Structure formats: structure tokens, C-alpha cells
Amino acid sequence: MQFSAILVTLAVAFAPALAAPTAEPAALQKRDVGAYVCTGENFTGQCNHITPPYNVCQPFSATGLTGYQSWGPDNGDTCIWYTGGSCTGTQSGNVYYPGYADVPDFWKFNTASFKCYSL
């Protein structure tokens, strides 16, 4: 009887440590990210909705466009542009939703790579 009481006490004491791990809070979970990119200002011209891998550097060619003048991350997503390939060189500040209907000229002509992530 005393042995059973000890087992129950140990089971209760260690149950939280043996429980299945809980999921990350929603704010920290990786999820699909996206951005709307267009060759014209005000989201006109040829446009593509891209879904790059979460926080993985992409060459600009991953947009499927040869240039861009407007860029808008999906709501809750953030993108960063880089002047060099492999997300090197000068980086832009964070680009948040709704993005830029008219991207600053420097970035229109100097973006070589980018990455996007969710908050």
C-alpha cells in the first residue's frame, strides 16, 4: 500500500515533465508568407503574388518579374530587400503591409535579393 502511494506521488510530480510538448504560440509559429509585387506604380502592370519560404533569402528572380515599382507584403508579413545576392550588401528597412505603391527609386534599381517573414 505504501509503495502504491509513492508511485502515485511520483506520477503526479513528474506528469508535467512527461506531458506532450505544447505548440508554439501563434505569434511565433512559422507560416506561409507572401507579397504582391508589380512592375507598375500603384500595383499596376504585370503583378505576381509570391510566396517565398519563411525567412529564406531569395534572388530577385524569384518574383517572376524583371523589375518592380510596387511591393506589398501580405498583412502580418515583413520583407527586407538587399543590394547583393544571397541577402548581402545594403539592406532596406523592414517593409510592412501595405508596402509601397511607389517603391523608392534606389530599391527599384538595386534589389538583388530579399527575404520575408511573419510577425
From the number of C-beta atoms within 10 Å of its C-beta (0-12, 13-18, 19+), residue 63 rates as buried
Single-letter amino acid code for the residue at 44? T
Per-residue model confidence as pLDDT tens digits over 25-77: 444 456 689 999 999 999 999 999 999 999 999 999 999 999 999 999 999 99
Q: Which fold has domain 31-118?
A: Gamma-B Crystallin; domain 1 (2.60.20)
Please state the pTM of the whole predicted model.
Answer: 0.73
Q: Which grid cell sits at 52?
A: 517565398
Per-residue model confidence as pLDDT tens digits over 66-110: 999 999 999 999 999 999 999 999 999 999 999 999 999 999 999
Q: Which grid cell sits at 35?
A: 507579397
